[in-house]
Amino acid sequence: MSREVRGARAADGEGIPAEAATPVVLAEDLVKMHRTEAGAPVKAVRGVDLRIERGEFVAITGPSGAGKSTLLHLLGGLHRPDSGRIWLEGERVDTYSEARWAVLRRRRIGIVFQFFNLISHLTVADNVELPALLAGSTPRQARAKRAELLDDLGLEGRENSTPGELSGGEQQRVALARALVNRSGLLLADEPAGSLDSKGTREVLRLLSRYHQRGQTIVLVTHDARVASAADRVISLFDGRIVDDAALGGGSSSGRPAGGVSGTLKLKG
């Protein structure tokens, strides 16, 4: 168990003591098993300890099958750990029911997926407004949030388009707007550039960097070291375990900016 995790546990083992700086995410000894097609158990995540501070941009990288997406899905409540504990902003959440996790995601966690996961028969406006309405915003509030985000993301005039009428980069920007519409404290991005060309990749990374500069906490999964270089901290996974955890640019793991998107754009050409 890491020193950071030990120092964050409360006397009753359930929360984080008031005197400790409360991280956005704290995970302790996470384990997740999957089964192969033949039914053999495989540990996708093996005893991971993780601490994410407010305002960090963290990239989780590693080869295919390293456990990157599984770990991200554990942090977002999309998978349940077989053992271990997770805290979100000081609140123990790994024991939550699926219904309670759904409420938590609506209000405090935004998620961006590789293949966008937009609702194909809804317009851009409806895709972005729906999470706000589900979280309790009035229709007027949801429209205002959507208009602000689409303008900020360069999607003004596309409100009435459907996802099929957009480019891949535009669809991912809509997915980003949807993830940010409730001003979630934590943004999880699972291979957000994995299905984009180099232009779309640059667009998405510029936007993530912009929101990071505004204080957004971001955890991004990627197999591409060039994409990871947009972050200011890179965690390397191999065979379900953390094998390296390093700040980029010589800065601290929680400083802004240390990595940044500029180096990524140069590498992408």
Residues 15-52: pLDDT tens digits? 544 435 899 999 999 999 988 788 888 899 999 999 99
Residue-wise pLDDT for 132-149, tens only, equals: 999 999 999 999 999 999
* Cβ proximity of 167 and 155 under 8 Å: no
Closest CA to 193 of 225, 217, 241: 225
**How far is residue 87's CA from residue 57's CA, in Å, rounded to a whole number?**
18
Could you give the residue ranges of the DSSP H alpha helices within the chain? 3-8, 68-75, 98-108, 124-134, 139-152, 168-180, 198-213, 225-228, 262-268
* Cβ proximity of 61 and 222 under 8 Å: yes
**How far is residue 45's CA from residue 74's CA, in Å, rounded to a whole number?**
10
**How far is residue 33's CA from residue 70's CA, in Å, rounded to a whole number?**
10
Closest CA to 190 of 172, 178, 177: 172
Tell me, what DSSP letter sits at residue 165? G
For residue 253, what are the CA distances in angstroms to 99, 207, 232?
Answer: 33, 20, 6
What pairs with residue 109 in β-bridges?
A: 186
Residue-wise pLDDT for 76-113, tens only, equals: 999 999 999 999 999 999 999 999 999 999 889 999 98
Q: Check whether 7 has a pLDDT greater than 90.
A: no
- In one-letter notation, the amino acid at residue 164 is G
> What is the pLDDT at residue 50?
97
* Cβ proximity of 57 and 39 under 8 Å: no
Higher pLDDT, 260 or 57: 57
**How far is residue 37's CA from residue 33's CA, in Å, rounded to a whole number?**
13
Average pLDDT in the 256-268 region? Answer: 43
Residue-wise pLDDT for 222-233, tens only, equals: 988 888 989 999
Higher pLDDT, 146 or 197: 146
**How far is residue 75's CA from residue 85's CA, in Å, rounded to a whole number?**
10
**Cα distance from N-terminal residue to C-terminal residue, the chain:** 41
